[in-house]
Amino acid sequence: MKKKNNEKDLNAGVSLERTDREFEIFKSRVANAVLGYMEAHSDQDLVECLERSSLFLSNISTQVKKVFDNQKQAFIDQNDLFDIGNDLFSTCQQNASTTVH
């Protein structure tokens, strides 16, 4: 049972690392797109728009991180519940096997 739990934990860690890496790639692409647009258009309206966009993107980034943290905690809680269920099930099986019929 412990081996299965370790495999689940490793798979969860790999999945979260991949998600973090994908999010970093996404942020980089957005930043590059904004910089490319800035180079193509240079005026005061653009600067003001970018200042507002910066605040907006910063807020989104914070919210996305909160979602990731909540999903990570939900995944941990789910694994804990499965572990408890497995322990209870194995205890019930052991009790049933020792009962005289």
- pLDDT digit string (tens) for 3-45? 555 555 555 556 767 788 888 898 889 888 878 877 787 777 7
> What is the number of alpha carbons within 13 Å of residue 13 lying toward its C-beta?
6
Residues whose CB falls within 8 Å of the CB of residue 44, separated by 6 or more in sequence, listed in order: none
Give the span between the Cα atoms of 84 and 76, in whole angstroms.
Answer: 12
pTM of the predicted protein model:
0.39
Distance CA 20, CA 26 (A): 10
Q: 83 to each of 55, 69, 86, how far by Cα in Å?
A: 42, 21, 5
**Structural domain that includes position 84:** 2-98
Contacts with 19 (C-beta within 8 Å, 6 or more apart), sequence order: 68
- The number of distinct structural domains making up the chain is 1
pLDDT tens-digit series, residues 59-83: 888 888 888 888 888 888 888 888 8
